[in-house]
Structure 1
Amino acid sequence: MPWRTSRSAPDRLRTPGGLAGFLKSASICVLIAGLLSPLGQATAAAATASNDYCGGQCSDILPPGENGNATLAQILLNQAFGTQPDHAEDQLGLYANLAKGASSLTDSTINTFFNDASFGVSSDQVASTEKPAGRTDVTIVRDKKAGVPHITGTTRYGTEFGAGYAAAEDRLWLMDVFRHVGRGQLTTFAGGAASNQGLEQEFYRNAPYSEADLQAQIDNAVANNGARGQQALADANAYLAGINSYIDASDSGRYFPGEYVLTGHKDSVTNAGTIDHFKITDLVALGSVIGSLFGAGGGGEVSNAISLIAAQSKYGVAEGTKVWESFRERNDAEAVLTVHNGESFPYASKPDSPQGEALPDAGSVTTEPLVYDATGTGASQSAQAASATATTTALSSARRGMSNALVVSGKYTASGHPIAVFGPQTGYFAPQLLMLQEIQGPGISARGASFAGLSMYVELGRGQDYSWSATTSGQDIIDTYAVELCTDDYHYLYHGTCTAMDKVEQTNSWKPTTADGTAAGSYTMRVWKTKYGPVEYRATVGGKKVAYTTLRSSYMHEADSIIGFQMLNDPDYVKGPADFQSAAQHINYTFNWFYADSQHTAYYNSGNNPVRASGVDAEFPVWAQAAYEWKNWDPSTNTADYTAASAHPNSIDQDYYISWNNKQALDYSTAPWGDGSVHRGNLLEDRVKKLVAAGGVTRTKLVQAMADAALADLRAEDVLPKLLKVINSSTVTDSTAADAVSKLQAWVTAGAKRTETSAGSKTYANADAIRILDAWWPLLVKAEFQPGLGSDLYTAFGNNLPVDESPSAAHGPTGSHAGSSFQYGWWSYVDKDIRAVLGETVKGPLAEKYCGGGVLSSCRDILISTLKTAAGTSASTVYPGDSLCSAGDQWCADSIVQRTLGGIKHYNISWQNRPTFQQVVEYTSHR
């Protein structure tokens, strides 16, 4: 493959280390010329487009680039000189430039910042054409601009074979990494660095599947879905054949990903070693990782119980419960809603008389150990340290909520056709977790993004005359059960019988890795499983020893969602919004799904929502007894009764939809804390509502609304004005405070954005105001709430919901350089409390007034005192620096990094809070 250089090596090579850090000091004494890819130039040929009803008005983007594979030579050149394999980062600049380019955007210039997502490739834009493995029933055409594979098959088998071959061409190493993550075997595969240990531990506890478990999930998904199940199995086998064909071809041609050499799986000189073929259970292992990251909402019942006990200890049972409920904001009257037409969808509501609760005795909870018998590096890296590494934090944060959507009905657009700007916010990685593709074949017609290794179908994208996308919804499909122990710590009562837990173990060992100095090591991961799921904690309840287990409805059902994706790709199935909702209903993970065609818009919330026993409060652990189990739950298959499709939040042709992981609808109790009066969903709601009120919405206007929200500081836009109102309730006489107030007010007046003074300046406008607020927020929250709550309860609530998640907050749940920001924080608590102190109307107020004990003058004193401290805090303290950024470099601290999961590194880009993969669509006609 050809290379190109797009930035200087010093800029590029300052990015943080990635997967295992094994590429930190890769030697370039290897004879690079002898390792060049032998692939020749492909013959250009025109691709045949299928029916496309978008009229050239469908666009998409997925940074950094489509090509996520690199030979050893390309990796070494990238490490030494910053050169890039072709199409490795050519979508990164397009994506980054929207931050400053949105203000001058027009419909005709949208594809300056996005790819043309029309079906097919015009003859003058064909970069290459290939017949994988010499097959005559499938052709892969790649376009010049982005190198996207356009797969066209004349048979279903050939089409899926081509999809697998293209996936391996673009993501083989990443696919291999994640099939090992899904099995808890990453360290054995890629080395024992802290990030690798953290990744495999993160997922093994949640899904400790044996090979038999993985196969059983495939068998059940096929058996339970008739002809579609059989077709899915055939598609998967054809897809695997394509992957394995590429593995064989790249091995014999010696152009396989260079990471295999750098991790000791292949020899660069003799070519000794193997790259294992993929098998069908690998797809389930991959699916379990993706499902855990993005589609497994709920859990946290033990943490909830600990904070409730702390509240009751502070205030007494009745008042403490009231305080806890006010901070929980289960069904807040001021929360922004996706379905905002007043329709109610009750789920997981607070029961009038809770039954079966098994709250732990205070101070008795301990986390179940996962790691045993650690040696070498395994002993020196604790599980906690490993899970705190940058890559692991960035990946695991995905389950907390990401992605956004803006969809406007044709009634309010200039053309009369609906418009959508939407996509998943899956984080920033190199190579990217998602990959772009177009698939055209019998029963399949789609273009868009799919998770690497699961791309037999497009998972988010467009069909012939419709587009769809998703955001993480997070509703509660996970419950915690307290199993009473008997005999010893590894037996429990199941329906009155003392039953042995099942012990599941995975022993990993690894060799020394010279690139990052990692020593040899080993450890065993051990999970104790019950019929109610894996053990996560131990405690006592009323003096009785219990194990707390975690049961999720998608456990042992990681493969089931394949049917829904198959339907979404089938042009004969999806012909309108009702068909779309039916397809989405077949996806058992927790997502919000959005749809647009030339006439209609639609929304559906997916997930197997278990029907809980009467009186069970989903917020807290319950006893593992028959009376409190899910209705008609069968532990042998982990199946139960689930709420009907009509009970899930859903809608067709609402005036507009927005979603940024906010509350779905009235009375729909979701798992995340923080769905209150201020949520980042408000950043979209306020802008789209204003556009709809004015009418005449265009693609340009909707993209601009998204891009404007992507640069907004939620705290500054929605909370800071009220804080300043308290401070300005009297004349500010202190010069330091007055100067800070002046800077903050100027920033609010200018729009409260974190944006560069000019494109590429790497300096923020209103930089000092931004520094002050970044320093002030954690100080003011603590000073506002800790005196009233007390240290124990303040800490417990902070464990439920982090105080801050600004772009530069390495301490936040998403970690630094992650892009996604302002999903989790005490924005709503501060907003409600300050409004209450000001005497303003608050729907669903906190149980008490906290700032200054509810006295305006005292609250003002607290705000001014903490503001003065913040104003005097240096930039180097606020932005302490890391391996990428110098201390005090504000822009760099915010910047987005494509975290390396392979050998190729990319430059960091200016902060934007927007989806990773994104579509802009407006269909002109319909079949």
Structure 2
Amino acid sequence: MAGATRKLRRGLTAAVTALVLAAAGAPAATATGPAAADTAADQCGGQCGDILPPGENGNATLADILANRALGTHPAHTDDQLPTYAELADDYRSLTDSTINRYFNDSSFGVPAGQVESSTTMQAGGGSVTIVRDKAAGIPHITGTTRAATEYGAGWAAANDRLWLMDLFRHVGRGELSSFAGGAAANRQLEQSFWAAAPYTEADLTQQVRSIASSGPAGQQAMADIDAYLGGVNAYAAKAHSDRDFPGEYDLTGHIDPITNAGGIAPFTPEDLVAIAGVIGALFGSGGGGEVQSALVKEAADARYGTAKGDRVWAAFREENDPEADLTVHDGTSFPYAASPAHPTGVAMPDPGSVTAQQEVFDPTGSAAAGARQLAPAGASAKAPAKLAPLKGVFDKGVLPGDMLTAKHGMSNALVVNGKYTDDGHPIAVFGPQTGYYAPQLLMLEELQGPGLHARGASFAGLSMYVLLGRGPNYAWSATSAGQDVTDTFAVKLCAPDGSATGTPSKDSLYYRQNGDSGPCTKMETLERDDSWKPTLADQTAAGSYKLIVYRTRFGLVQYRATVGGAPVAYTSQRSSYRHEADSIIGFQAFDDPARMATPADFQQSAAEVNFTFNWFYASDRHTAYFNSGGNPVRASGMDPNLPADAAQEWQGWNPDTGASAQEPAATHPHSADQDYYVSWNNKQALGTTAAGFGDGSVHRSNLLDSRVKALVDRVRGGGAAITRAQMVQAMEDAAVTDLRGEDVLPKMLAVIGDPSKVTDPQQAAAVQELTAWQRDGARRVETSAGSRTYADADAIRVMDAWWPLAVEAEFKPGLGDGLYTALTGALQINESPSGGQNGGTGSSDVNESQPHKGSSFQYGWWSYLDKDLRTVLGRPVAGGLGDGYCGGGSPSACRTVLLTTLGQAAAESASQVYPGDSSCKAGDQWCADSIVQRPMGGVTDGTIGWQNRPTYQQAVQFTG
């Protein structure tokens, strides 16, 4: 149940808004039962901390939402971790071990008696469970006398904190978001993207549930845990509805009447959890699949230079195994995977100009003539009770970001150092996932203490039967998205539209040959979802409906249509984790059990059970370890994973009925134990492990972490002071406020320009001086003082933001030509600055940068390309270069002219041009343009914080042992 403080706040909120809202307030709660006692030995010694903004509480009643909108008040624990998180960016340089807990929650097990906010004991699962919430953050600490009771408590707490979000995601996973939460454009965009990536029938979802149950003792235990967990979820939902203490979003979207309480919350099923797992897997645990885009770059390069040189240019920009790439496993061990063979077979290149995207959105009749996002005629607007009028239109922009899946997402980071270099001889880890900034968060915090469950940390809403990322008694673990290539594109030959073997094949046909040229004509399986919506209180979007259709073949989901050698084909996407997202529950189960996490080998064995593409990190009181998980398929000999393949290149052991295939053994995955240190920021895992996309080369944002941690380790090796927990946090945060372009590429740009005194144009000269000073200051984007909302080196930062897109285009487009340059920018955006879509660059490819206020920055961009090209122009050594210099045709003097000309153009742009403003910021407000907005996924909104490139959930741990 919710804590007494939270109930009191809700009661006050209801009283404050009584004149506006004629509805019953939430009843007061009574805390019962003793405070939960820790049942597992805790070896943190006060040296474990975590943080998850904005706050633990993700549920707000209708009264809470109205008060937030009208008065700016917040339910308890809605945003109390946000200031703590934000302030580290201003204060990190003065951080000490004794002050770390000002910026992180104390994540020791249990709750001291004086810090108990509420304690509730319930009978469940053949025993009892006590849920204690702490005063500091309202986190549920769940202790059960039986495992089933513990899981029941986990479900109860999850629904208490994230019921609305859980409901959203089970509908997203089924392509039913609009009918559930309103037909806003963002809702439709999101459900379309997820339906295209992971469409499932109910039978598919049930099959995944059965697969868990048949996975031996661990699978049977997982099903028992799921059943107990769902018991808690559904019991809480029923009680909250009866007590009128449920999330107010159900009122706003018409599922419950705000006056009569008529309506309800549909019970959750195991299939719902599989649907949620499918969403999370598509967001954070997949990789590869860009083979068509890669083919278009190769074709454009061949058209520009001829086949021989064009293929060399394609390979150079592809950087699939760049010798200068930053590596997580840096001890020289090689783990070859997914590289292009010297003599590939079965490559299915599209005919130039023939590629078209597969239509997904149809009109309600399923007509193939309907355009994308075609809607039925508008209906009448919803009529809201007059007293609820302030809430009209709250969800008109959608309840979830429309680009949550389609836009490229920056992910997580990790810094782990071996105990031989630390102050007390125990490893230090500062790590966590970057899941985006939302209100409420996708993740929630919890502590689980029960038989076989001894962990505290974060879990995705609806999947919190286990702590997914966190700590046990003497070990901690976390993950970053790896994104290695587990998705391939196959060219499936099409038959006549009537399915006949003798008719003329058509590019739009729904019939294909199962076995290449000679196989029988088989009809594609149609996966469709009808969705319709009507105006609601909070979403005034006109009524409409449409049909979502995805076609499934033996070789995966149809993504594109094209011709290959004149013959029509469908390009399909085959992902190894599709139809198997729920399988990973076996690995997650093990993380919470100390008996199965005692050694690096135990940890790696558990991580190997996860088929999502993650980099897993482990730090115990004695050891560190790393493992790259994922269902790496065993490909046909000679297949090129970086280009579309014909159907003869089918994965080894492929079973189209189950979606399973042979997979590479765990020993072939990048892994390591007790390396001197590990860093990861979604960079290349190890030698030989091929990058899944373009641009993983000499400059990557992980360099910001690597250089800082390596310097600390080298200091110890040289006889200097040992590393402290505070210094590891400082290394992380210094990287978090540093502009990657300014630290690693700007020095080469300035080197080409040369002596500043020889720059004759006054505007250009001033800009060079400002940029030089900013680089000398560390190329950071930090305030002049805490709370000033004004950057130090503000003019230099403005110039850099404007200069980058101009310089990239002027440096590369003349040499590459329009066609190849456009193809390359389609495969890899040129920039990912903190201000995102507000970047005022006028380069044509700058439209690729389209996500403002998201925090995570500098993962995707042309950093390596400029670095390598400018070093070539300067005559410096370059391993894995791009070939001849592009800037100024390779001439240093001509390149200098290119850079100075574009620098002058950038310097002339005003702050209002560079930062044009949006619904959150006025034009010209540089700090605000960079700022992080907690994107609301419900009715409550939270404050804006300053930019930092940092995980959303983060741990800082060092066990005493």
Interval containing the TM-score (normalised by the shorter chain): over 0.9
2:250 aligned residue: 260
* Unaligned 5+ runs, structure 1: 7-26
* Residue 425 (structure 2) pairs with residue 405 (structure 1): no
- C-alpha spacing 1:896/1:394, structure 2 compared with 1 (3 Å): farther
Distance 2:406 2:325 in 1: 22
Contact 1:287 1:454 in 2 (8 A): yes
Aligned 8 A contact 1:359 1:620 in 2:
yes
Matches within 5 A, 1:853-892: 853-892=889-928
Q: CA deviation at 1:813?
A: 5.2
Mind listing any 5+ residue stretches in structure 2 that lack a counterpart? Answer: 10-15, 365-369, 378-394, 498-508, 717-721, 838-846
> What is the aligned partner in structure 2 of residue 379 from structure 1?
374
Indicate the SS of the match to 1:68.
coil
2:240/2:246 contact within 8 Å kept: yes
Q: How far apart are the structure 2 equivalents of 1:743 and 1:36?
A: 58
Hey, what's the Cα distance between the residues in 1 that align with 2:601 and 2:300? 47
- Deviation of residue 390 (structure 1)? 11
Compute the displacement of 1:350 (Å): 1.4
- State yes or no: 1:707 paired with 2:728: no
**Secondary structure of 1:449's match?**
strand
Specify whether residues 217 and 186 from structure 1 end up closer, same or farther in structure 2 by C-alpha distance, changes over 3 A only: same
| Residues 272-291 of structure 1 aligned to structure 2 (within 5 Å) | 272-291=262-281
Q: Per the alignment, do residues 564 and 813 of structure 1 end up closer, same or farther by CA in structure 2, a change over 3 Å counting?
A: farther
C-alpha separation between the residues in 1 aligned to 2:738 and 2:332? 28
- Equivalent-residue separation in structure 1 for 2:693 and 2:239 (angstroms): 46
Report if the CA contact (8 A) 1:66-1:146 is conserved.
yes
**1:544 and 2:580 matched:** no
Provide the rounded CA distance (Å) in 2 between the counterparts of 1:144 and 1:318: 67
Residue-by-residue CA offset, 1:522-545 (whole Å, 9 max, x unaligned): 100011110111111000000000
After superposing the two structures, state which structure 1 stretch, 403-412 or 38-47, moved more. 38-47
Q: Indicate if the aligned counterparts of 1:65 and 1:90 stay in contact, CA closer than 8 A.
A: yes
Q: Deviations over 1:151-192 (max 9, x none)?
A: 000111111000000000000000000000000000000000
- 1:906 aligned residue: 942
Equivalent of 2:89 in 99, 107, 115: 99
| Secondary structure class of the residue paired with 1:790 | helix
Equivalent residue, structure 1, for 2:505? none
Find the aligned partners of 1:848 and 1:189 in 2 and give their Cα distance: 55
In the alignment, does 2:164 pair up with 1:173? yes
Name the SS for the 1:783 alignment partner: helix
* Partners of 2:328 and 2:686 within 8 A in 1: yes
Give the aligned partner of residue 360 of structure 2.
370
Q: Where do 1:10-409 residues align within 5 Å?
A: 31-32=20-21, 34-43=23-32, 45-49=34-38, 50-132=40-122, 137-223=128-214, 225-373=215-363, 379=374, 392=401, 395-396=404-405, 400-409=409-418
The CA distance in 2 between the partners of 1:802 and 1:387, in whole Å, is 29
Q: Do structure 1's residue 414 and structure 2's residue 416 form an aligned pair?
A: no
Q: How does 1:805-884 map to 2 (within 5 A)?
A: 805-810=832-837, 811-812=847-848, 815-884=851-920
Measure how far apart 1:848 and its partner are: 2.3
- Residue equivalent to 1:575: 598
Which sits farther off after the overlay, 496-505 or 370-379? 370-379
Change (3 A) 1:647 1:813: farther
Change (3 A) 1:56 1:410: same
TM-aligned CA distance change 1:615 to 1:353, over 3 Å: same
Distance 1:127 1:377, change over 3 A: farther
Partner of 1:20: none
Conserved 8 A contact 1:397-1:813? no
Check conservation: 1:401, 1:474, Cα contact below 8 A: no
List per-residue Cα deviations over 1:728-747 (Å, max 9, x = no partner): 25711111100000000110
Structure 1 stretch displaced more, 884-893 or 569-578 = 569-578
Provide closer, same or farther for how the CA distance between residues 151 and 880 of structure 1 changes in structure 2, counting only shifts above 3 A: same
Say which SS state the counterpart of residue 346 (structure 1) adopts: strand
Give how far 1:570 is off.
1.1
2:581 matches 1:558: yes
State the match for 1:434 in structure 2.
443
Note if contact 2:770-2:795 (Cα within 8 Å) is conserved in structure 1.
yes
TM-score calculated relative to the size of structure 1: 0.95
CA distance in 2, matches of 1:814, 1:463: 39
| Cross-structure match for 1:798 | 825
Residues 29-73 of structure 1 show CA distances to partners (whole Å, capped at 9, x for unaligned) of: 874474322132424843311210111111000000000000000
Q: How does 1:645-684 map to 2 (within 5 A)?
A: 645-684=666-705
**Counterpart in the other structure of 1:491:** 511
**Map of 1:756 onto structure 2:** 783
RMSD: 2.1
Q: How many residue pairs were aligned?
A: 899
Structure 1 match to 2:13: none
Residues 149 and 813 of structure 1, relative CA distance in 2, 3 Å threshold: farther
Q: In structure 2, how many angstroms separate the alpha carbons of the residues matched to 1:766 and 1:160?
A: 52
Distance (Å, rounded) in 1 between the aligned partners of 2:708 and 2:511: 56
Q: In structure 2, what residue type is equivalent to 1:364? A: S
Give the aligned partner of residue 615 of structure 1: 638
**Bigger shift: residues 355-364 or 124-133:** 124-133
1:415-467 CA distance string (max 9 Å, x none)? 11000000000000011000000001011110000000000000000011100
Q: Contact 1:132–1:139 at 8 Å: present in 2 too? A: yes
Deviation at 1:349, TM superposition (A): 1.1
Q: Is the 8 A contact 2:832 2:860 kept in 1?
A: yes
Residue equivalent to 1:642: 663
User: Secondary structure of the equivalent of 2:510?
Assistant: strand
Contact 2:529-2:547 at 8 Å conserved across structures? yes
1:475 and 2:484 equivalent?
A: yes
Residues 35 and 742 of structure 1: is their aligned pair in 2 closer, same or farther, counting only changes over 3 Å? farther
TM-superposition CA deviations, 1:221-277 (whole Å, max 9, x none):
221x21111000000010001000001100110110000000000011110011101
Q: Percent identity?
A: 59
Name the aligned partner's letter for residue 25 of structure 2: L
Aligned-residue offset at 1:515: 3.6
Contact kept, 8 Å, 1:62 with 1:918, in 2: the verdict is: yes
Q: What is residue 508 of structure 1 aligned with on the other side? A: 531
Contact 2:360 2:372 in 1 (8 A): no
Q: Which residue of 2 aligns with 1:785?
A: 812
User: Hey, what does 1:732 align to over in structure 2?
Assistant: 759
Bigger mean CA deviation after superposition, 404-413 or 572-581: 572-581
Contact 2:428-2:958 at 8 Å conserved across structures: yes
- DSSP 3-state at the match of 1:165: helix
| Alignment-derived partner of residue 16 in structure 1 | none
* CA distance in structure 2 between the partners assigned to 1:874 and 1:666 by the alignment: 45
| Letter matched to residue 434 of structure 2 | Q
Please list the CA deviations of residues 182-237 of structure 1 after superposition, one character each: whole Å capped at 9, or x if unmatched.
000000000000111011111111111011100101111221x2111100000001
After TM superposition, the structure 1 stretch with the greater mean CA deviation from structure 2, 386-395 or 159-168, is 386-395
SS of residue matched to 2:814: helix
From 654, 665, 668, the counterpart of 1:633: 654
Instruction: Give the distance between the partners of 1:83 and 1:272, measured in 2 at CA.
Output: 27
Amino acid at match of 2:435: T
Alignment partner of 1:604 is 2:627: yes
Instruction: Identify which range, 864-873 or 507-516, moves more after superposition.
Output: 507-516
**Closer, same or farther: CA 264–300 of 1 in aligned 2, 3 Å:** same
SS at 1:822 equivalent: coil
Shift in alpha-carbon separation, 1:757–1:779, aligned structure 2, 3 A: same
Local SS of the residue matching 2:582: coil
Q: How far apart in 1 are the matches of 2:427 and 2:642?
A: 38
Find the aligned partners of 2:124 and 2:662 in 1 and give their Cα distance.
48
What is the alpha-carbon distance in structure 2 between the residues aligned to residue 827 and residue 367 of structure 1? 29
Question: Mean alpha-carbon deviation: is it higher for 38-47 or for 843-852?
Answer: 38-47
Counterpart CA distance in 1 for 2:640 and 2:203 is 34
